[in-house]
Chain A
Amino acid sequence: MIEFERDTLSNGLKVIVHYDDSTPMVTTNLLYDAGSRDEDPEATGFAHLFEHLMFEGSENVPVFDTPVMLAGGENNAFTNNDITNYYITLPANNLEIALWLESDRMVGLDLSESRLATQKSVVTEEFRQRYLNQPYGDIFLLLRPLAYKVHPYMWAAIGKDIGHIEKADSKRVIQFYRRHYSPASAILSVAGAVKPDDAFRMAEKWFGDIPSPAKIARVLPVEPQQKGRREITVHRDVPAAQLIMAFHTGGRDSRDFYILDLLTDILSGCDSGRFPSVLVRKKELFSDADIYLSGEIDPGLVIFSGRVKSGIDIKKAESAVMSELNRLASEAVTTAELEKARNRYESLRLLSYLSAANKAFSLAFHELLGDADGINTEIARYMSVSAQEIIDSAARTFSPDNCSVIHYLPEVK
C-alpha cells in the first residue's frame, strides 16, 4: 500500500504527497497534461521542443540547472505522446528549492529568440542521433502513420520530420506555453522524506498565486476502426530483417490494457515466455521476439517486434507469429503461465517502487488518469485477470484486419 495525501490549490493545481523516510532524498514530479497529441499536424515535435526550452531559464532563475546542482539535486524531463513530465530529486531539506524552480518556469519562462534557435539546433541533432543515425532507428517514424490515419498518435513525440522543428517560430512557442503550462493543466507530486503538511504549505507558497486560465477541453479525432491489413516494406542498410506488427487496442483505462499487459508478459516478458521459447529457441525463426503495449492514454497499440534470422523468409516468420497469436484466442494460457506472470508483476512492482522518484511519477500519472489511488488499486486489476478474459481479449485484438505490418529489410547489394 502506497499511502499519500492530496490537495487541490485554488488555481486548480493538484498536489499529491507520499511520505517515505527510507531515503534522505525527495523527488518532485511535475506532470503537464500536454504531449505530442496536442500538436498542430503542421507543427509536430513542438511539445518536446518546448520541454528543452523549459531548461533555458526563467524570470528569477537565469540558469535552471545551477540551483539544482547547488542543492545537490539532479533533474530531467521527458515528453511522450500524452504528457510532458519534469522531475527533480534532491536532499529533502532542499525541497523548497525544487518547488521554487518549478513554479518560476511555470509562470515566467524566458523565451528569447536566441535560446529558441539553439534548442532547435540541439533537437535537430537529437533527431539525427536517436532516429536517423541508428540502424533500425526510424521504425516508429514509419509505424505511427501506418497504424493511425486521423488520431495525432500518427506522429512520434520527436515530430514527423526535422523540417517541422526547423520552422518552429517564437509566436507558436508562446501560444503553446500559454495554452498548456498552467496550474490547472499540471499535477505536482512529491515523494520522499517530507511530511505532507510541509509539502502542501510550500506548494501553496510557490504555486498558490499563479493565475490559471480555464483548462481548454481536449477534442481529438477518434481513430476509426481499422478494416483491413496494412503493410509496407522498406529497405535499409541493416544486416538483418526486422518484422513489426501492430494491433489496435483499448486505452489506458480499458480492461484490455490490464489483460494485454499481463498477456504480453506471458508471451515475451521473460526468457521462458512463449515467444523466446517457441519463435526463438524451438523454431529458430527470430533472434529475438518481443511483444508489448505502447501504453498511451487514448486507444493504443500492441506491438510485436522481432529480428528475423538470416535465411528465413519474413513471410514465414510472420505467419508463425500470427499462429501463436491465434492460438491465444482458442486455447487458454496455463495456470502456471498466469501464476508466473503474477509473481513477476509482484516482484517488478516492488522493485520499481523502491525508488521514490518512480512512486512520484506513478502517483501523478494515475491522478491524470483519474485517481492517484490507481497506484494501489491496479494490483487487483492485474491479479484478477482470468484465462477466459485473455481468450476474449486476444480474439478481439489479433485479427489480420486490425494489423499494420512493416517488413524492414536489408538493402539488396
Chain B
Amino acid sequence: MKRHNSQQPPVIITPSAGDTAFPPMVSLSNGVPVYLLGKGTAGLLRVEFVADAGQRREKVHMASSTANAMLTEGTVNHDAITLNDLIDSTGAVLNHSADKETASLVMITLSRKLEEVTALAAEVLFHPSFPETEFRMLIDKRVQAFLTGRQKTSVIGREEFYRALCGNNNPYGRVTKLDDYQSITTAAIREFHSLHYRSDNMYITVAGHDPEKALPVLEKYFSGNGTGMWHKPEMPEIVFETAKTGRIFAEVGNSVQSAVRMGWKGISRDHQDYQGLQVANMILGGYFGSRLMRNIREEKGYTYGINSVAGAFHGIGYIAIMTEVANSYREETISEIKKEIMKLCRDEVGQDELSIVRNHFMGEIARMFDGPFNRAETIRGIIDYNTGHDYFARFVETVKTITPGKIKELFNTYFNIDNSFEIIAGAK
C-alpha cells in the first residue's frame, strides 16, 4: 500500500517545558500557607488541604489512613447520611487520601458554592465524630478488599517489594495482616486525629479562576486553632533495615500470571544524582519506547506492560522494575531485564535515543504545569518533599545537559545487579 501522494514529513519543533514557576503564597492570619494557582475555566475551584498526617506519623498501624477515610463518615453536627447528602447536594466532590507522608482532602466545587462547601470541609476536617457503626462498616469493607488482594499478584508483589526495601518494622515496609483490622480502634484514630488535623498543621492550595477570591472564605473557616497549647508531635523514630538482596518468592494460589519486581535501594530527592537518575530510569523503563518495553513487550511479547520507577520517600529512595508475565516467562523476563541493564552499564546511549527522552521529559513537564488543577498536584510534590521552588527549573537544566557518559556512570552506580532484590509473586 503505497501512499497516494508522499510529502516531506513536517519538521518537529523541539518542545519546551514552558513556565514552571512556583506559585505565589499568602498566609491566613494564623500563618497557614495558601498557594494560589490562577487561570483556568471560570466556574470551578479546586481546593486541597494537606495535613502533615501521613502514615509516617502513626504509632498505631493504619491510624492515618483510617482517620482520613472516616472524615466524611459523620461529624459532631451531622450523621454520615445527612453529612454526605449535604456535600453531594452542592454538586461538590470531596476526595480524601492518606499516603506514607501526608494526608489530604480535596474539594472540587462550583465557584458559586464555595462558602457552603468550605464550611463542610472545615467541619469534616476538624469535627469528625468517628462513629462506631460507620467505623465497623469501613473495617469490614477493608477486610474484604484485603482478602481480595491476597489473590492479586500485583498487590502481593508490591507488598513484598516494600518489605524487602525497608524492613517490616516501619510504616514504609510494614505488611498489613488480617489481625491488624482487629487491633485498630476508634480511640486510636481519635487520638491520631486530635494530634494532627489542625489548620496550623496543614497547607492549602487553591486552583482555578481568581483563586484570591477564596481567601476571605478560607480566613473565616481555617484561621482558627492556630494558637494555644498544641505542640507539633515528635516524629516517631523510623528504622529502616538494610535492603534485602536475592530472590524472594511469594506464592499466590492459582494465578495464571506472576508479578515480577526487581529493586534496589535508591537515593533521596536532594541527592545530587536524583534528577540524573530520573533520566537514566526513563531510558530503561520509563516510557512506551523504553529499552524494557521494546525488548520484553514489543520484541518478545512476554507482557502487556513493563516499567521502572526511581523515587524516594522521606528517608529512603528506591528503584523498582515492575511487570506481570505468564508464569512460564518469568525466568526469561528476569534474565532479559538483567541483559538490558548490563547493556546500559556497558554502552553509552546514543544521541538519538537521548533526544527522544529529553523531548519526552519536556512534554511531560509541560503537561504537569498545564492548567491550575495539574499545577496544584505538581507543586504538592515540591512542598511535601521540600525539594525547593526551583526544582523543575533545575530538572529542565539537568535533562538538557546530562551526557551519555554520566548516564552510563549512573547505571553503574545505582543498577548493580549483584545487590538487587527480585520478587516473584505467583503460582509455584
Contact = CB atoms under 8 A, between A and B. Distances in A.
Interface of A: 22-25, 59-60, 63, 65-67, 69-74, 89-91, 93-94, 96-97, 100, 104, 107-109, 117-126, 128-130, 132-136, 205-206, 209-211, 237-240, 270-273, 276-277, 280-281, 284, 287-288, 307, 309-310, 336, 339-340, 343-348, 350-351, 353-355
A208 B106 CA distance: 47
A133 B356 contact: no
B1 to A, nearest CB: 5
A58 to B, nearest CB: 9
A281 B81 contact: yes
A353 to B, nearest CB: 8
A133 B153 contact: yes
Given A135-B151, A240-B147, A347-B44, A60 B355 contact: no
Which range contains the number of B residues in contact with the other chain?
35 or more
B13 A94 contact: yes
Given A107-B1, A128-B257, A70 B359 contact: yes
Contacts, number: 212
A403 B267 CA distance: 56
Contact of A347 (B10, B91, B141): B91
B387 interface: no
B366 A272 contact: no
Contact of B356 (A70, A94, A238, A239): A70
B15 A72 contact: yes
B330 to A, nearest CB: 12
B81 A346 contact: no
A108 B288 CA distance: 22
Given A132-B256, A346-B110, A24 B88 contact: no
A344 to B, nearest CB: 5
Given A122-B304, A239-B147, A281-B80, 7 more contacts: A69-B363, A100-B10, A107-B4, A124-B301, A239-B144, A287-B141, A344-B88
Contacts of B371: 22-23, 354-355
B12 interface: yes
B304 A129 contact: yes
Given A344-B91, A350-B43, A126 B304 contact: yes
A60 B6 contact: yes
A223 to B, nearest CB: 32
12 contacts: A23-B370, A60-B6, A67-B9, A67-B12, A90-B363, A118-B298, A135-B148, A206-B7, A271-B87, A281-B137, A287-B141, A307-B144
Nearest to A410: B147
Given A125-B303, A284-B137, A350-B44, A24 B13 contact: no
Given A59-B3, A125-B324, A272-B87, A70 B355 contact: yes
A133 B257 contact: yes
A270 B84 CA distance: 8
A100 B12 CA distance: 11
Nearest to A339: B89
B91 A346 contact: yes
A340 B113 CA distance: 13
Contact of A91 (B16, B92, B151, B257): B16
A229 to B, nearest CB: 28
Nearest to A284: B137
Contacts of B13: 71, 91, 93-94
B2 interface: yes
A273 B88 CA distance: 9
A97 B3 CA distance: 17
Interface in B285-329: 287-289, 297-304, 324-326
A272 B363 contact: no
Contact of A128 (B43, B150, B299, B326): B326
User: Which of A132, A209, A271 has the most chain B CB atoms inside 10 A of its CB?
Assistant: A271
Nearest to B90: A343
A205 B364 CA distance: 28
B89 A135 contact: no
B23 interface: no
A271 B41 contact: no
Interface string B35-59: 0000111011000000000000000
A344 B88 CA distance: 7
B326 A351 contact: no
Nearest to A61: B9
Contacts of B304: 122-123, 125-126, 129-130
Contact of A72 (B84, B137, B360): B360
B281 interface: no
Contact of B325 (A96, A97, A125): A125
A89 B367 CA distance: 9
Nearest to B81: A277
